[in-house]
């Protein structure tokens, strides 16, 4: 079973989107899985105005597998503009999945570009900040820095401690981002108290 089918099943393929049951349109899937650049671009463009978030896993698979830079860019332009809050789970699942390691940086970047609420995924972004490449670490820091909403205090405290425990033994750029993330999260925690 591929990523898209698995994630949609796990996250609720027949989930409610604006109080309507979501069902996959096989023609849209066929177009997304096509090797034809024009077909891919056309369906992505249509999805920009009337797409459903249930297609995000298919879009991510397309971005990961396409040989066309235009298609890759078009998918990420769409992901950068997402406004449906349910999209956060799909993006975070793809970020965690090593199948998408080659596009992980772009996936994380989409999280701060689209401005959705990733508060429930703070731990994912602190883990990326600590353990991933400098480029992904920077993108994860940017997500944390731009979070308008943060989770409950106990989670904030845990993430601060996790970050503090990784301050030593890291290179200068990462150490800077970890320190800044600690400051950002601590500020939020202090404002909540």
Per-residue pLDDT reduced to its tens digit, 2-31: 655 555 444 443 333 443 556 889 999 999
Number of domains in the chain: 2
Domain residues for 175? 117-193
Give the model's pLDDT for residue 11. Answer: 44
Q: Please tell me whether residues 4 and 80 are part of one structural domain.
A: yes
Final residue of a domain: which of 97, 116, 135?
A: 116
Write the DSSP assignment of the chain as a string of letters. Answer: --HHHHHHHHHTTT-EETTEE----HHHHHHHT-S-HHHHHHHHHHHHHH--GGGHHHHHHHHHH-S-HHHHHHHHHHHHT---TTHHHHHHHHHH-GGGGGGHHHHHHHHHHH----GGGHHHHHHHHHHS-HHHHHHHHHHHHT-SS---HHHHHHHHHHHHTTSTT--HHHHHHHHHHHHHHHHHHHHH-
Q: Please tell me whether residues 22 and 83 are part of one structural domain.
A: yes
Q: Please tell me whether residues 145 and 83 are part of one structural domain.
A: no
Final residue of a domain: which of 100, 116, 132?
A: 116
Q: What is the pLDDT of residues 47-75, one digit of tens each?
A: 988 778 899 999 999 999 999 999 999 99
pTM: 0.88
Q: Please tell me whether residues 59 and 87 are part of one structural domain.
A: yes
Final residue of a domain: which of 65, 92, 116?
A: 116
Give the model's pLDDT for residue 24. Answer: 83
Q: Please tell me whether residues 39 and 55 are part of one structural domain.
A: yes
Q: Please tell me whether residues 82 and 163 are part of one structural domain.
A: no
């Amino acid at each position: 079973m591929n990523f898209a089918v698995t994630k949609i099943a796990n996250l609720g393929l027949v989930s409610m989107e604006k109080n309507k049951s979501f069902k996959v349109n096989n023609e849209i899937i066929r177009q997304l899985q096509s090797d034809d650049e024009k077909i891919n671009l056309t369906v992505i463009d249509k999805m920009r105005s009337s797409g459903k978030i249930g297609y995000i896993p298919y879009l991510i698979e397309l971005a990961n597998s396409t040989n066309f830079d235009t298609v890759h860019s078009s998918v990420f332009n769409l992901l950068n503009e997402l406004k449906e809050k349910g999209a956060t789970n799909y993006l975070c699942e793809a970020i965690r999945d090593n199948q998408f390691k080659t596009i992980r940086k772009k996936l994380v970047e989409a999280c701060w570009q689209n401005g959705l609420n990733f508060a429930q995924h703070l731990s994912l972004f602190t883990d990326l900040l600590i353990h991933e490449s400098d480029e992904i670490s920077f993108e994860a820091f940017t997500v944390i820095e731009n979070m308008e909403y943060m989770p409950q205090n106990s989670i904030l405290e845990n993430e601060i401690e996790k970050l503090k425990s990784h301050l030593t033994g890291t290179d200068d750029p990462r150490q800077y981002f970890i320190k800044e993330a600690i400051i950002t999260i601590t500020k939020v925690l202090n404002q909540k108290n």
